[in-house]
Homo-oligomer: A and B are copies of this chain.
C-alpha cells in the first residue's frame, strides 16, 4: 500500500478551499447558483445538458463552464443551444490536469457573464477521482454514472459518490443489452452515501431528463437540492 505525504495534500486543499470561498462569494453577489457536474469520461454529461436545454429551464438564464484537458468539442456542441459557454482547458502544455480546481475556475470567471445568469453549470473533466477532491465554490454537485460502467463503481470510487447531492444513473436505455443490475448499483450507492437521491435517466431517449431538469431548477431557485422521482434501492 502506497502512502503519499498527507501534509502536502492538506496544504493544497486549504488553498483550494480559500479560493472556492472567493468564487462562491462572487457567485452570490451576482445571484448565480452553480452546479458542478462530474462523471467518468463518456458517461454522458454533455448529452444530458443538450437534452436539458431542449426541455428548457423554466425561464432561468443558464450558462456553462466547460472543463476539458484540451479542445472545445463539448463547448461547441452546447453553444448551439444559444447559451453562454466558456471553455476552460486544463492543458498546461503536456498531459494536463485531470480535474478542475477553484483556482482554474477563478481564472476563467472574467470570461463568464455572471451578471446575465441565474444558473451556471460547470462540466468537470471526466474523471471519478480528483474532481471530487476539489470544491470550486459550487452550491451543489451532481455525479453522472453510466450503467455501462459496472455496479461496483460506488465501492471503488466512494469519495465521488459521497461528494454529491445527486446521482444520475444514465444510459438506462441500454439495460436490456447489459449484464447490469441497477438495484445492486443503487444498493452500493446507498452504502457509501446513504439517502442521496438517484435518478434513472437516458439522455439518448429523454427518459428521466425532466426530473433532472426539475432538480436543476430547484437548485437554481435556492431550494435544497433534492431529486423528484427519486429511485430508492429496493
Query: Which A residues lie at the B interface, using CB under 8 A?
Result: 1-4, 6, 9, 40-42, 68-71, 73, 88-98, 103-104, 107-108, 125-130, 132-133, 146, 148-150, 152-153, 155-159, 171, 173-174, 177-179, 204
Residues of B within 8 A of A107 (CB): 1-2
* Alpha-carbon distance A40/B128, docked complex (angstroms): 9
* Alpha-carbon distance A177/B202, docked complex (angstroms): 13
- Within the complex, the shortest CB–CB distance from A194 to chain B, in Å, comes to 18
* Alpha-carbon distance A4/B101, docked complex (angstroms): 11
A156 touches B40 (CB 8 A): no
* Alpha-carbon distance A178/B173, docked complex (angstroms): 10
* Alpha-carbon distance A126/B173, docked complex (angstroms): 24
> Pick the contact of A2 from B94, B103, B150, B171 — CB < 8 Å?
B103
> Pick the contact of A129 from B88, B125, B150 — CB < 8 Å?
B125
B129 touches A128 (CB 8 A): no
- Given the interface contacts A42-B40, A71-B156, does A4 sit within 8 Å of B92 by beta carbon? yes
- Given the interface contacts A2-B108, A92-B2, A150-B42, does A69 sit within 8 Å of B156 by beta carbon? yes
Closest to A96 in B: B129
> Pick the contact of A174 from B73, B97, B177 — CB < 8 Å?
B177
A71 touches B155 (CB 8 A): yes
- Given the interface contacts A126-B128, A128-B126, does A41 sit within 8 Å of B92 by beta carbon? no
B42 touches A149 (CB 8 A): yes
B95 touches A129 (CB 8 A): yes
